Amino acid sequence: MDSRTLPGPQFYTKQKDGTVDQSLSTIEIEKFGEKILIWQAICSCGLKTTPFFTKGTISADIYKKECLNRRLIPFYKKHIVSTIFWPDLATVHYAHSTLALLKDNNVNFVKKEENPPNAPEFRPIEKYWAIVKRNLKKDHRVAENVNEFKKKLA
Ligand SMILES: [Zn+2]
């Protein structure tokens, strides 16, 4: 909710021989401030799903309902060309009921045993998230709720 808590450097500008206001050079942030989780799928063709936002964790049921049934599966079926879904190794992504739903909908996906751990640089969406986070860091407003956060992301 507070972009200043995202990893990476914070920047400010200073005039030559000028002073920097204390409020800029020292930023107090809440150590365990509210966080928001975003799920979204992107494709190399340029299409992306609408994002799903939550302040909680994503259970297998929420993942199936909000991420797969409402977003990924319709998105996947829009593609005429052969497409493969590449989730990260989060537990819910490979829960038995999740795999059953993907198989029932003929979604071709990277199998858990073929999915490299600790290799985010290989998943294209990680570059997308880096850009999203970089843009969020430019917005210093603290979102008070999910709707305010969505505005920051827009
Ligand atoms: Zn595509």
CATH, residue 102: 3.30.420.10
Q: How far is the CA of 119 from the centre of ligand 1 (A)?
A: 22
pTM: 0.81
Predicted pLDDT of residue 104:
98
Mean local confidence (pLDDT), 6-31:
76
E strands, 13-111, in order: 37-39, 52-54
The phi and psi torsions of 12 (rounded to 5 degrees) equal -145, 160
* CA–CA distance, 4 with 93 (Å, rounded to integer): 29
* CA–CA distance, 5 with 87 (Å, rounded to integer): 25
Q: How far is the CA of 40 from the centre of ligand 1 (A)?
A: 13
* CA–CA distance, 12 with 106 (Å, rounded to integer): 50
Using alpha carbons only, how large is the chain's radius of gyration in Å? 19
Q: Which two tokens stand for residue 113?
A: 């045993």
Q: Strand, helix or coil at 42?
A: strand
Give the pLDDT confidence of 46-99 residue by residue, as tens digits: 999 999 999 888 999 999 999 999 999 999 999 988 899 999 999 999 999 999
Q: How many domains does the chain have?
A: 1
Mean local confidence (pLDDT), 19-37:
78
Q: How far is the CA of 79 from the centre of ligand 1 (A)?
A: 6
Q: How far is the CA of 124 from the centre of ligand 1 (A)?
A: 13
Predicted pLDDT of residue 112:
96
Mean local confidence (pLDDT), 118-140:
86
Predicted pLDDT of residue 18:
82
